[in-house]
Amino acid sequence: MHPATPPTAGAPAGRNHRTLLSRRRFVRGLAAVALVAPLALGAAGCGGDDDAGDGGPVKLSIFWWGGDARAKLTEDALALYTKKHPDVTFEKTWQANQGYFDKLATLTAGGNPPDLFQIDDNYLAEYAGRSTTLDLGSYRDSGKLDVSKFPKSLLEYGVVDGKLAGVAAGENTQGLVYNKTLLTKNGLPEPTTGMSWEEHIAWAEQVAKKTKVPGTQDPSADYKALWVWLRQQGKDLYKGKELGFTVEDVTKWFELWKGARDSGATPTADVIHQGNATDITKQLVVTGKAATSWVWANQMPDLKKNTKDELGVVAYPGDPSAQWARASMYWSVFKGSKHRDTAVDVINFLNNDPEAVALLGTDRGLPSNMDLRAKVSETATDPAMKQSIQVESDLAQKFGPSPQVPIKGHSKVKSELTKAAENAQYGRATPAQAAEQFVTACKAAIA
């Protein structure tokens, strides 16, 4: 199967950068659904209708993003499904991260959406809010979609306005990755899960003084770190359709990291800027410009490929119950699909069939099924992968409830945080001024 048409040249690269997709283009695409939907949906708009049942041969369309390696793994798993269900074949389309959501919006608006598609938390609420995704709740309740082995917060993180809009294709959580070799060589203690933010910064100062390497990347521009910190303060990133924080909250966050910069615990602004990139190869823990980086825990294997040093990973500072089992990406079903029963069964298969899960491995994150995750861990040969699985499995015992799925404008909120935080990092604005700038921009983004 060949990938879809390559994305437009010059578009921003990287998984997070693709979320900078023009909001107007996205809304135009989905607005068109309102015109097309009556034709595309018809009586098939509600789960469980008779014409959704598949009694004969079915050709199911499926769309995902990723590279050649993911395509091979996914196609092998789908071939296994067809082997076990000979009446079901697949029309497979995939492409690189870049431009994926442009293509998905075009397919949806054009009345030719895939039956089954991959989506992430930047867009799940938007698609669900426009009734593009099928509510999978009835399948979950009937047992046709078995989520009994999922961490509770992982399942909850696919619910939008009370409806199960997506099922996690894999799990990750926030991870503070540190250079274990550097610390051991200098007789320094390793960071631990549960240390406070202030203790982390004090530890980073100690590392910087002893090794001449800044102890920690400044994560004030990192939405993951801000989100965890807010939850530890009894706040959240979002509350309903509004922001879950105030200017005062963000001011405290920016002030915390101004103090860390002033004490020498972090690198200079120019180096922090390098680490603010989403590219794994630019994370400061692997470039040697800081002893720690703030990433997703399941990125450990990719980080390890970029350094000869041994790495360790713990939870972000503070109470680890502020973290949750986050869906690295979801599988969703188009609400108007004529084959939604089969599409749901494929999701169930990809998450719960031992052979399929073994084939897919950890390409989309750690397996959502905890029992099968343990089996994948047993057979994993990559030490960094085994470590990542072990850390996330240990943290699963400490996870708190999941937050709501991010609302419309989330990708803009993330980019505005980077802009405001860097203004504070470079001294172009005080923490209070940068916080005011950020909140004002966020309110416009989610309006």
Average pLDDT estimate for 163-171: 97
- The model carries a pTM of 0.83
Average pLDDT in the chain: 88
Is pLDDT at 53 greater than 70 in this prediction? no
In sequence order, the β-bridge partners of residue 330 are: 119, 168
| Rounded distance between C-alpha atoms, residue 307 and residue 304, angstroms | 5
pLDDT band at 40 (very low <50, low <70, confident <90, very high): very low
> What is the pLDDT at residue 303?
92
| Rounded distance between C-alpha atoms, residue 69 and residue 213, angstroms | 36
| Rounded distance between C-alpha atoms, residue 326 and residue 151, angstroms | 10
Question: Rounded to an integer, what is the distance from CA 311 to the centroid of its chain?
Answer: 22
Is pLDDT at 434 greater than 80 in this prediction? yes
Nearest to 221 by CA among 437, 31, 41: 437
3 state SS of 292: strand
> What is the pLDDT at residue 307?
94
Higher pLDDT pick, 12 / 235: 235
> What is the pLDDT at residue 51?
41
Q: Given 3-state DSSP classes, what are the helix, strand and coil percentages for the chain, each rounded to the nearest 5?
A: 50, 15, 35
In sequence order, the β-bridge partners of residue 366 are: 171
Q: Letter for the amino acid at 21?
A: L
Asked if 264 contacts 214 with a C-beta cutoff of 8 angstroms, the reply is yes
What domains can be seen in the chain, in order of their start residue? 58-170+328-393 (3.40.190.10), 174-324+403-446 (3.40.190.10)
Q: Which of 32-41, 209-218, 292-301 has the lowest mean pLDDT?
A: 32-41
pLDDT band at 43 (very low <50, low <70, confident <90, very high): very low
383, two tokens: 């030490």
- pLDDT single digits (tens) 246-289: 999 999 999 999 999 999 999 999 999 999 987 888 899 999 99
Higher pLDDT pick, 361 / 186: 186
| Rounded distance between C-alpha atoms, residue 421 and residue 143, angstroms | 46
Higher pLDDT pick, 51 / 173: 173
Is pLDDT at 333 greater than 80 in this prediction? yes
Is pLDDT at 229 greater than 60 in this prediction? yes
| Rounded distance between C-alpha atoms, residue 267 and residue 405, angstroms | 33
Average pLDDT estimate for 407-419: 95
Is pLDDT at 429 greater than 70 in this prediction? yes
- pLDDT single digits (tens) 234-244: 999 999 999 99
> What is the pLDDT at residue 44?
34
Indicate left, alpha or beta for 30 from its phi (over 0: left) and psi (-120 to 50: alpha).
alpha
